[in-house]
Amino acid sequence: MARFQVFSTKSYYRDALGGSTADTGVDLVFRAERLDADTAQSVVGVAGVCVGSQDLLDRSVIESLSSVGCRIIALRTAGFNNVDLDAAADRGMTVVRVPAYSPYAVAEHAVALLLALSRKLTLAHDRVRAFNFSLDGLVGFDLHGKTAGVIGTGRIGQITAQILKGFGMSVLASDPFPNPEWADSERIRYLPLDRLLAESEVVTLHAPLTSETTHLINRETLATMRRGALLVNVSRGALVDAPSVIGALESGQLGGAGLDVYEHEEGIFFEDLSTTGLHDDTLARLLTFPNVIITSHQAFLTHDALDEIARVTVTNMARLTSGESALPGTQLFPAAP
What amino acid positions are annotated as catalytic residues? 236, 265, 297
Nearer CB in complex with ligand NAD: 105/314: 105
Residue 261 interacts with ligand NAD (CB under 6 A): yes or no: yes
Nearer CB in complex with ligand NAD: 87/299: 299
Nearest Cα to Cα of residue 229 among 253, 263, 265: 253
For the chain, the C-alpha Rg in angstroms (whole number) is 22
Cα–Cα distance for residue pair 244/253, rounded to 1 Å: 11
Q: Which window, 4-12, 21-29, 201-209, 326-334, contacts ligand NAD (CB under 6 A)?
A: 201-209
Q: Which window, 28-36, 100-108, 196-204, 240-248, contacts ligand NAD (CB under 6 A)?
A: 100-108
Taking CB under 6 A as the rule, which mask of x and - marks residues 209-228 in contact with ligand NAD? Answer: xx-xx---------------
Q: Please list every residue from 64 through 93 that binds ligand NAD, using CB under 6 A.
A: 78-79
Cα–Cα distance for residue pair 182/176, rounded to 1 Å: 15
Residue 52 interacts with ligand NAD (CB under 6 A): yes or no: no
**Contact with ligand NAD (CB under 6 A) among 143, 299, 309, 317:** 299
Count CB-CB contacts under 10 A for residue 227. 12
Nearer CB in complex with ligand NAD: 201/260: 260
Residue 297 interacts with ligand NAD (CB under 6 A): yes or no: yes
- Output the smallest distance, CB 83 to ligand NAD, in A: 15
- Output the smallest distance, CB 76 to ligand NAD, in A: 11
Total residues contacting ligand NAD (rule CB under 6 A)? 31
Q: Which window, 5-13, 26-34, 35-43, 154-162, contacts ligand NAD (CB under 6 A)?
A: 154-162
Nearer CB in complex with ligand NAD: 149/255: 149
Residue 174 interacts with ligand NAD (CB under 6 A): yes or no: yes
Cα–Cα distance for residue pair 127/302, rounded to 1 Å: 28
Q: Are 130 and 324 in contact (CB under 8 A)?
A: no
**Contact with ligand NAD (CB under 6 A) among 4, 13, 300, 333:** 300
Q: HSE, CB side, 13 Å, CA atoms: give it for residue 257.
A: 31
Looking at residue 271, its amino acid is: E
Q: Which window, 84-92, 150-158, 217-225, 308-316, contacts ligand NAD (CB under 6 A)?
A: 150-158
Point out the residue whose Cβ comes nearest to ligand NAD: 154
**Contact with ligand NAD (CB under 6 A) among 154, 280, 311, 319:** 154
Nearer CB in complex with ligand NAD: 65/259: 259
Residue 153 interacts with ligand NAD (CB under 6 A): yes or no: yes
Interface contacts to ligand NAD, rule CB under 6 A: 78-79, 100, 103, 106, 151-157, 174-177, 206-210, 212-213, 234-236, 260-261, 297, 299-300
